[in-house]
Amino acid sequence: MLNDTVWHPQSPIQFDSSLSPSSISAGHRNFVIVLPVDGPSHDLCKVISSIVALGYPAPVIVNWKKDFHTDEEGIGPSQLGKITGTLNYLEWATSSDAPDEDKLGDDDLVLMLDAHDIWMQLPPSVLLHRYFSSNQRANNRLAEEYGFEEGLMEQTIVISAQKGCIAPRDKISNLYCHDVPESTLPPDVFGFLTYYHIDRPKLMVPKSDNTAIFLVSAAATPPYLNCVTDRHV
């Protein structure tokens, strides 16, 4: 089981009671937070402070003091560096070279956070419960939609979403904005004007990938990150 000795909120945070224990593999799991960042900042101090205050494990920092060779306009491969830095760490942590206290197994969980834009507000118990609940709902939906037995195709990756499909300034990425699948949120999640006012972002449904956050099992992380780097390197 996941070690979680932090405060468990009762209200107003609601837990989804439909989460089935069978959807979570038994046994001990480690939980690691990865922060890709190349230097100190007030924002980095804030995210680390919120992590510690809420009882999360101490984060692992990657890319420290790494020069991404940004140009005078601030354009450079730092966004992709978040992916490659995390991938390099996980390749080491899952290898035989990693000491036992740092080694990650297939079922261990990895949370990558943007070190400049994220503050933690909810404790690990809420985050992990919502991760497993989200995966369970997605797996049930996949089985119903495609008619195969449960377990043949599974979701194990949860990433953050944003409302706009915005191409990065590095000029190396094709985001295929027109091919992004529709959100599974209700079509009227923001009221009857949802989707109808492009000039009012608050009424748009988030469905585009954002690299600020992803939570995934250690086994699924390298294939996912390798797929990203193969498209852009």
Q: Under a CB-based contact definition with an 8 Å cutoff, are residues 84 and 34 in contact?
A: no
pLDDT, residue 71, reads 47
CA distance 90 to 98: 10
Residue with tokens 């560096």: 81
Q: Across all residues in the chain, what is the average pLDDT?
A: 78
∠ at Cα 92 (70, 102), nearest 5°? 115
pLDDT digits (tens, 9 = 90+) for 113-160: 988 888 999 999 999 999 999 888 888 888 888 887 766 788 888 888
Structure tokens at 38: 């190349």
Domain boundaries, the chain: 28-163+207-232
At 215, is the secondary structure helix, strand, or coil?
strand
Average pLDDT on 47-67 reads: 92
pLDDT digits (tens, 9 = 90+) for 147-166: 877 667 888 888 888 887 77
Of 148, 93, 124, 116, whose CA–CA distance to 213 is shortest? 116
pLDDT, residue 111, reads 94
Between residues 115 and 226, the one the model is more confident about: 115
CA distance 195 to 192: 9
Per-residue DSSP letters for 140-170? HHHHHHH---TTSS---EEEEEESS----TT
pLDDT, residue 16, reads 53
pLDDT digits (tens, 9 = 90+) for 6-24: 444 444 444 455 666 566 6
pTM of the predicted model as reported, rounded to 2 decimal places? 0.77
pLDDT, residue 4, reads 45
Between residues 133 and 198, the one the model is more confident about: 133
Cβ contacts of 77 within 8 Å, gap of 6 or more: 68, 69, 170, 172
At 35, is the secondary structure helix, strand, or coil?
strand
For residue 66, the number of C-alpha atoms closer than 13 Å in the C-beta half-sphere is 17
| Fold for the domain defined by 28-163+207-232 | Spore Coat Polysaccharide Biosynthesis Protein SpsA; Chain A (3.90.550)
Residue with tokens 């300034």: 169
CA distance 184 to 158: 14
